[in-house]
Structure 1
Amino acid sequence: MLNRRRFLAMSAVAPVALRAQPGRQVHQHALIVDAHVHALDREFYHGGSMGTRYPDGQWDLVRAKEGGVGAFFLSIYVPEEYLPGRFETKQTLRRIDHALEQIRLNHDLVELALTPDDVAKIRARGKMAAILDIEGSYDLDGDLGVLRDLHRLGLRSAQLSAHNWNQHYADSCCSTPEHHGLTEHGREVIHTMNRLGIMINVSHSGDETIAQAIDVSSAPVFATHHGLRSVNNIPRNLSDEMLKKLAGKGGVIGFQIGSDFNNLRAYDYNTKQKGKTFWDTSNLKDRVQGKTIYEVDQMVAPGFPMIGPRLPDDVAMTVDEWVGVVDKAIQLAGEDHVGIGSDFDGGPPLARGMRDVRDLPMITDAMLRRGYSTGRIEKFWGGNAMRLFRDVTAQSNRS
Structure 2
Amino acid sequence: MRPMIHTPFAGSLLTVLLFAGTTHAADSTPAARKLARDAVIVDTHIDAPTELMKEWRDLSVAQPREFDFPKARAGGLDVAFMSIYTSPGQDDDGKAYEIANRMIDAVEKLANENPDKFALLRTPRDVEALRLLGLVLLPLGMENGAPIGGDLAKLKYFHGRGVRYITLAHSANNRIADSSYAAEKKWKGLSPFGREVVAEMNRLGMIIDVSHLSDDAVAQAVDLSRTPVMATHSAFRHFTPGFERNLSDELAKAIAAKGGVIQIPFGNAFVDPASAAKTQAYFVAYAEYERARSAGRTTQTVAEFDAEWDRDHPPLPVKIDAVLDQIDYGVKLVGIDHIGIGSDFDGVSGALPEGLRTVADYPNLIAGLQARGYSDADIRRILGENALRVWRRVEAYAAERQAAPATKRD
TM-score between both structures, scaled by the size of structure 2: 0.82
CA distance in 1, matches of 2:352, 2:379: 20
Aligned-residue CA RMSD (Å): 2.7
Task: Determine whether 1:164 maps to 2:198.
Answer: no
Which structure 2 residues correspond to residues 111-122 of structure 1 after superposition, within 5 A?
111-122=119-130
Q: Kindly indicate whether the alpha-carbon contact (under 8 Å) linking 1:262 and 1:325 is maintained by their aligned counterparts in 2.
A: yes
SS at match of 2:82: strand
CA distance in 1, matches of 2:288, 2:104: 28
Residue 23 of structure 1: which of 32, 40, 44 is its match?
32
Which structure 2 residues correspond to residues 293-312 of structure 1 after superposition, within 5 A?
none
CA distance in 1, matches of 2:131, 2:287: 40
CA distance in 2, matches of 1:27, 1:52: 21
- Report the alpha carbon displacement of residue 23 of structure 1 after superposing the two structures with TM: 1.7
SS at match of 2:282: coil
Which structure 2 residues correspond to residues 1-399 of structure 1 after superposition, within 5 A?
20-54=29-63, 56-136=64-144, 138=146, 140-161=148-169, 163-175=170-182, 176-233=184-241, 234-268=243-277, 270-271=278-279, 276-277=282-283, 280=286, 315-347=316-348, 349-399=351-401
Q: Kindly indicate whether the alpha-carbon contact (under 8 Å) linking 2:231 and 2:262 is maintained by their aligned counterparts in 1.
A: yes
Identity, in percent, stands at: 33
CA spacing shift, 1:393–1:280, aligned 2, 3 Å = farther
Q: Kindly indicate whether the alpha-carbon contact (under 8 Å) linking 2:266 and 2:356 is maintained by their aligned counterparts in 1.
A: no
Q: Kindly indicate whether the alpha-carbon contact (under 8 Å) linking 2:260 and 2:390 is maintained by their aligned counterparts in 1.
A: yes
Q: Please, which runs of 5 or more residues in structure 2 have no aligned partner? A: 1-25, 295-301, 402-410
- Report the alpha carbon displacement of residue 164 of structure 1 after superposing the two structures with TM: 0.7
CA spacing shift, 1:259–1:180, aligned 2, 3 Å = same
CA distance in 1, matches of 2:147, 2:213: 12
Q: Kindly indicate whether the alpha-carbon contact (under 8 Å) linking 1:266 and 1:311 is maintained by their aligned counterparts in 2.
A: no
> 1:129-181 CA deviation, whole Å, 9 max, x = no partner?
111111135353341111111111111111111x1111123111111111111
Q: Kindly indicate whether the alpha-carbon contact (under 8 Å) linking 1:257 and 1:351 is maintained by their aligned counterparts in 2.
A: yes
- Report the alpha carbon displacement of residue 281 of structure 1 after superposing the two structures with TM: 5.7
- Give the AA of the match of 1:121: A
SS at match of 1:225: coil
- Report the alpha carbon displacement of residue 286 of structure 1 after superposing the two structures with TM: 9.7
- Give the AA of the match of 1:386: L
Q: Kindly indicate whether the alpha-carbon contact (under 8 Å) linking 1:203 and 1:223 is maintained by their aligned counterparts in 2.
A: yes
> 1:52-104 CA deviation, whole Å, 9 max, x = no partner?
311x3322222111111000110011122312211111211221122212221
CA spacing shift, 1:123–1:353, aligned 2, 3 Å = closer
CA spacing shift, 1:80–1:193, aligned 2, 3 Å = same
